[in-house]
Structure 1
C-alpha cells in the first residue's frame, strides 16, 4: 500500500496503464530489458499481467483464445507461459514483440 493513497503499487500501475495505454509500450520494453537480471522473469510476467488487467483480463483472454483462468495462471507469480501464450497475450493486448541487436 502506498502511504498517500492507500492503494497497492499494482493498483496504481494498472490505473496508469488504463489512463495512458501507450505507457504499456515503455513499461513492457523496460521489463523486457530486465529479464536477464535476478527476478527479471517475474518482472516481465508482472508487467504483462498489469497490462492485461488494465485492458480487462476477460477481454484479453477472449481475444487470446484462452480461458480467463488460464491467463491468470500463465501470468501469475509461478507462471511460465509458452511462447504461443506470450504472443497471443501480446497480440490480444495490441502489442507485438520485436527484436533488436544488443549493443
Structure 2
C-alpha cells in the first residue's frame, strides 16, 4: 500500500522575511500586474507583517483592512499609501526606459 503524501498550501507571505524581499515582491507586481494582482500582493505583504500590526499603524480596523485587501476589495489610493507607509515604504516614480542621449 502506498503511503499518502501530505502537502501544505504555498503562501508567499511565509517567504517575505525582509524589507528587501517585500520591495522586490511588490515591485514585480507593480511593473506589470493588474489592479487585482497588485491588491493581492499587498494582501500577501500585509499578512507577512501581521494584519493586526498593519491595521494599527494605518488606523484602520482589522476588518476594514481585510475588506480592502480581500478578493472583492478595491482599496483607495490613500489606503494603499497608508499600508505602504505602515510597512516603512513609499511610492516612487522612475523613468521606464532611459532616453537615448543625443551625440
User: How high is the TM-score relative to the length of structure 1?
Assistant: 0.82
Distance 2:6 2:43 in 1: 22
> With structure 2 as the length reference, what TM-score do the two structures score?
0.82
Runs (5+) with no aligned partner, structure 1: none
Instruction: State the partner residue of 1:57.
Output: 51
Which protein shows a greater Rg?
Answer: 2
User: Which structure 2 segments of 5+ residues have no match?
Assistant: 98-103
Aligned residues: 93
Answer yes or no: is 1:23 the counterpart of 2:21: yes
Which residue does the alignment assign to 2:91? 97
CA distance in 1, matches of 2:6, 2:56: 32
Give the drift of 1:5. Answer: 7.0
- Runs (4 or more) in structure 1 with deviation over 4 Å come to none
Partner of 1:73: 67
Cα deviations across residues 63-94 of structure 1 (Å, max 9, x unaligned)?
01100111011111111111110100010011
